[in-house]
A and B are shown apart, each in its own frame.
Chain A
């Protein structure tokens, strides 16, 4: 099982297309190759998306996505064994336009050797006030089955479930002839087996290395709320500046804030430059500790890095080239795109236990650096 599960990847793809509710999304096809490398993990694979209108009121989309994962991260090196696995995800979705209302729905099936996830979603958006305002609402329901492999063999007796529900509401507003604003609020509820069956918690022993490991114990329920605001401004020299901010809190005690700035600048020769800066910070979960004082020291135990306190920064740049398509009369537009992002995560209470130290508390704090590359071709027809 990997954290590269993206059961709801194309939910966002589908919903992202309904920013303007009285127009169906463009017919387009995207072929993307993605790469992530950092912290002993590489993930790469293709994503293919095809969207096509059927008649005047219906648009359907299919997406096929693959993650090919090679993992020797600090977690699996210290607590389990390095692994390779492939995850495949298939999505079908549809948007139906009636008047100024768009109804959307779809189904996602994600399969990997030790994790199956099925997700369905419904969304509705309404355009109003002379198309200056778009209000959208969505509901997502997910059913997961968690598995576990031991030395490459599936454990037939281990198949706990996790149920997920998600509600979202948002409004996109034209404020001036140069400024767009978007407000979003989202609540997420999960119930069942919500932890990794592989990762372990660390506790102090005083003997040997000074520590040992025990199974993690997560709560069986999790509720989170997130709210965000985004502003997009058209600059006088034909460029777009986007700023967004988000706050997040959950019932596990984690609170987080993040913000980003994006700048898009068309250049000469059909080129467009994109740049990104993003900052993220979060506090740790109440039941997280890098080193518990002794075994079974509390009801819930976690040492997942995702629940630790940390700060993260990302910088990125991308270039897009709009290709001439005059030879192909059926094509309206085509672009070839490359983007590279670099992220650095500074953990504040997760220590690098691959480095030997006189006592566990003297290990250096873990730092993750990673690069993300996306290469994709898009065609509108």
Chain B
């Protein structure tokens, strides 16, 4: 579990920093008029959720690992 604890720390610390920083005013470093590329449909986190979640399920049915795929995962993988 040591490696996972390291990952958990790596994710939790920036998250805490983000939450604590919310108490102060942070100026966005990417201005709204600079987000043309980010607004392009090809940059959506998950443009086709029905299809991508189905493929995630195909993997989870064959593998023991699950979760942290962007949404909430699950499945017992038995039989």
Interface residues of A (CB under 8 A from B): 1-17, 19, 30, 32, 34, 36, 47, 49, 63, 75, 119, 121, 123, 128-133, 135, 138, 140, 142, 144, 162, 164, 166, 168-174, 176-178, 180, 182-188, 190, 194-196, 198-199, 224-230, 232, 234, 238-240, 246-250, 252, 254-256, 258, 264, 266, 272, 278, 280, 282, 285, 304-307, 312, 314, 316, 318, 337, 339, 341, 343, 345, 368, 372, 374, 376, 378
Q: Is the CB of A307 within 8 A of B26?
A: no
Residue of A nearest to B71 (CB): A12
User: Given A190-B76, A285-B64, A307-B64, A247–B18 Cβ distance below 8 Å?
Assistant: no
Q: Is the CB of A376 within 8 A of B74?
A: no
Interchain CA distance A173-B21 in the complex, whole Å: 14
Give which listed residue, B7, B53, B67, B78, contacts A224 with CB less than 8 A: B67
Residues of B with C-beta under 8 A to A345 = 62
Q: Is the CB of A1 within 8 A of B79?
A: yes
User: Given A13-B50, A166-B74, A228-B69, A128–B18 Cβ distance below 8 Å?
Assistant: yes
Q: Is the CB of A247 within 8 A of B4?
A: yes
User: Given A248-B66, A264-B42, A4–B61 Cβ distance below 8 Å?
Assistant: yes
Q: Is the CB of B57 within 8 A of A9?
A: yes
Write the nearest CB–CB distance from B6 to chain A, whole angstroms: 9
Interchain CA distance A9-B46 in the complex, whole Å: 14
Write the nearest CB–CB distance from A85 to chain B, whole angstroms: 11
Write the nearest CB–CB distance from B46 to chain A, whole angstroms: 4
Interchain CA distance A339-B48 in the complex, whole Å: 11
Residues of B with C-beta under 8 A to A246 = 65, 68-69
Q: Is the CB of A16 within 8 A of B54?
A: no
Q: Is the CB of B51 within 8 A of A256?
A: no
Q: Is the CB of A3 within 8 A of B75?
A: yes
Q: Is the CB of B78 within 8 A of A282?
A: no
Residues of B with C-beta under 8 A to A186 = 67-68, 72-73
Residues of B with C-beta under 8 A to A199 = 78-79
Residues of B with C-beta under 8 A to A174 = 30, 35, 38
Interchain CA distance A252-B1 in the complex, whole Å: 11
Residues of B with C-beta under 8 A to A15 = 70-72
Q: Is the CB of B51 within 8 A of A376?
A: yes
- Chain A CB count within 10 A is highest, among B1, B46, B59, for B59
Interchain CA distance A140-B51 in the complex, whole Å: 22
Interchain CA distance A171-B18 in the complex, whole Å: 9
Residues of B with C-beta under 8 A to A256 = 63-65
Q: List 19 interface pairs A-B (beta carbons < 8 Å), by A numbering.
A: A9-B57, A19-B45, A32-B54, A162-B76, A166-B72, A168-B72, A177-B35, A188-B67, A199-B78, A224-B66, A227-B68, A247-B3, A282-B64, A304-B78, A337-B48, A341-B55, A372-B55, A374-B55, A376-B50
Give which listed residue, A168, A178, A196, contacts B79 with CB less than 8 A: A196
Q: Is the CB of B70 within 8 A of A185?
A: no
Q: Is the CB of B55 within 8 A of A249?
A: no
Give which listed residue, A227, A285, A339, contacts B7 with CB less than 8 A: A227
Q: Is the CB of B55 within 8 A of A32?
A: no
Q: Is the CB of A240 within 8 A of B72?
A: no
Write the nearest CB–CB distance from B60 to chain A, whole angstroms: 8
- Chain B CB count within 10 A is highest, among A17, A130, A172, for A130
Residue of A nearest to B52 (CB): A16
